[in-house]
A and B are shown apart, each in its own frame.
Chain A
Amino acid sequence: MTKKDPSRAPLIAVAVFVIVAALGSVVWLLVGMLRGADARRVEVVQGGNVLYTYDLATASPQTVRIEAPDGGWNEFTIADGEIRMTAADCPDQTCVHMGPLRAENLPIVCLPHQLVIRFEDADT
Chain B
Amino acid sequence: MRMTTRRLTELALLTAAALIIFVIELRMPDIAIPGVKLGLANIITVYAVFRYRPGETAMLVAARILLGALFSPNPSTLLYSASGAALCLVGMLTVRKAIPARYIWLCSMMGAILHNIGQMTAAVLLMRTTAVLSLLPVLLLSGCIAGLFTGLCAQMLVTRLYKKPPHDL
Contacts and interface: CB of A to CB of B under 8 A. Distances in A.
A48 to B, nearest CB: 4
Size category of the A interface is 35 or more
Contacts of B94: 10
B140 A22 contact: yes
B127 A98 contact: no
Given A18-B106, A22-B140, A48-B129, A98 B99 contact: no
A123 interface: yes
Nearest to B116: A21
A95 B110 CA distance: 28
Interface stretch (B11-19, B43-51, B54-62, B73-81): B73-81
Contact of A45 (B106, B109, B131, B141): B131
Interface string A5-34: 001111101110110011011101100100
Interface centre among A14, A22, A104, A105 (most CB of B within 10 A): A14
- Dominant secondary structure of chain B at its interface with chain A: helix
A100 B115 CA distance: 27
A78 interface: no
B90 interface: no
Interface string B117-146: 000000100111111111111101101100
A114 B113 contact: no
Interface string B145-157: 0000000000000
Contacts of B74: 90-92, 111-112
Interface string B87-102: 0000000110111100
A107 B127 CA distance: 14
Interface stretch (B27-35, B63-71, B159-167): B27-35
B144 A105 contact: no
Which 3 A-B residue pairings sit nearest by Cβ, starting from the closest? A48-B128, A10-B98, A97-B32
